[in-house]
Amino acid sequence: MAEDSWLALEREYFVEKNAKDLELAPKKLNKVLETYNKFIQKALLNESPFVAEDLKLTILKNGGNSAAERKDR
């Protein structure tokens, strides 16, 4: 499955802005994120477009709480 164009643009922007702070080579970070984007896209959209919508609603219901905040509890 090809990477969605929106995800690709977001990935490229993220790499440009964060590779140096993360102390990672932009090329390696880019490859990791591209692979992850394809994985997530396939997992969400191969099932059904409703799965992606359910995920969005779950995230919104969570009120922006991060996974790190939940681990601290």
In single-letter form, the type of residue at position 55 comes to L
Global confidence as pTM: 0.65
pLDDT of residue 45: 72
Residue 39 CA to residue 45 CA, distance in Å, equals: 10
Domains in the chain: boundaries: 5-71
Q: What's the DSSP call for residue 73?
A: -
Summarize pLDDT for 15-36 with one digit per residue, the tens: 999 999 999 999 999 999 999 9
Q: Helices 49-61 and 26-45: crossing angle, nearest 10°? A: 110
